[in-house]
Structure 1
Amino acid sequence: MRRPVPDPIRPGEESVWDYPRPPRAEPERERITIRLGGVLIADTVNAIRVLETSHPPVYYLPIASFVDGALIPAEGSSFCEFKGEAAYFDVHGGERVVPGAAWTYPRPARGFESLSGRVAVYAGDMDACTVGDEQVTPQPGRFYGGWITSRIRGPFKGAPGSMGW
């Protein structure tokens, strides 16, 4: 399958097609918030974002930025060829529980040590996730966990027909 044509970018925007593969982890200093069940369950200005070709950024927040009881270890694991083995959490907020909606790399692979002690969530399962003052749109599909803001341009992997990119 051919690589899609990247969307045009304007000043201040990023194209996911300029992101590297293997991915890169970098600090994110904008305020990141997550709401579930009508309550704020996470808030930080100390996130790490992972950038990978064709994917919007995935944000990893310090576990300590989640309120007590928001993350409960869940069954199951998965493996990323770059980051290593992931473990999952059920996410609790207000009266809501979303099974397996967050993940972490307990022993991240070499080059991704900055993800240790951090958690990412599927934005589409939450009430709202923000980067700065902007509510994000979740990356299409359930396999990936990227967060799309107005500054990020695609097209994005995860949409129907994109698995071969």
Structure 2
Amino acid sequence: MAHPVPDPIAPGQESVWDYPRPPRIERVTNRVVIRLGGEVIVDTDDVVRVLETSHPPVYYLPIASFADGALSDAEGSSYCEFKGSARYLDIRGGGATASRAAWNYPRPSDGYEALAGRVAVYARQMDSCEVDGELVTPQPGRFYGGWITSWVVGPFKGDTGSIGW
């Protein structure tokens, strides 16, 4: 399958087609706020993001930045050829529970150690996820956890017809 044609980039934007493979980790100064059940469950500017070709960034937040009791172990696991073995987490907030709504890498692979002690969240299962006050759009597809903002352009893995990218 041929690569899709990248969307045009406006000033201040970045294309997911300029992201590397294997993925790159970068620390950013963005403020991330997540709400569930009408409550803020995390509000932090201690953020790293993972950038991978064709995917919007995945934001990883410190476990310690989540409200007390917001995270608990969930069933299942998965494996990333780059980052290693992931576990899933349920998220609770304001009386709501989102099952398997987050994941982390307890012992990430070499080169991805910065992800240890951090959690990524599926935006579609939250009331809202914001980056610097902007409401994010979840990456298309049920498996992917990237967050789309106005400064990231695609097309994105997970869109209809992207299975072979």
The TM-score with structure 2 as length reference comes to 0.99
Q: Which amino acid aligns with 1:2?
A: A
Partner of 1:65: 65
Partner of 2:143: 143
The count of aligned residue pairs is 165
Partner of 2:116: 116
| 1:90 counterpart = 2:90 | yes
Partner of 2:128: 128
C-alpha distance in structure 2 between counterparts of 1:153 and 1:159, whole Å? 13
Q: Give CA deviations for 1:132-165 in whole Å, capped at 9, x if unaligned.
A: 0101000001111000000000000011210100
Once the 2 structures are TM-superposed, how far is the Cα of residue 75 of structure 1 from its aligned partner? 1.2
C-alpha distance in structure 2 between counterparts of 1:49 and 1:157, whole Å? 17
C-alpha distance in structure 1 between counterparts of 2:100 and 2:154, whole Å? 27
Partner of 1:78: 78
Runs of 4+ in 1 over 4 A off after TM superposition: none
**What secondary structure sits across from 2:157 in the alignment?**
coil
C-alpha distance in structure 2 between counterparts of 1:85 and 1:69, whole Å? 23
C-alpha distance in structure 2 between counterparts of 1:142 and 1:10, whole Å? 28
Partner of 1:10: 10
Q: Which amino acid aligns with 1:21?
A: R
| 1:102 counterpart = 2:102 | yes
| 1:37 counterpart = 2:37 | yes
Q: Which amino acid aligns with 2:7?
A: D
Runs (5+) with no aligned partner, structure 1: none
**What secondary structure sits across from 2:17 in the alignment?**
helix
Partner of 2:28: 28
Identity of aligned residues (%): 68
Q: Which amino acid aligns with 2:158?
A: G
Runs (5+) with no aligned partner, structure 2: none
Q: Which amino acid aligns with 1:148?
A: I
Q: Which amino acid aligns with 1:87?
A: R
C-alpha distance in structure 1 between counterparts of 2:39 and 2:107, whole Å? 30
- The CA RMSD measured in Å over matched residues stands at 0.6
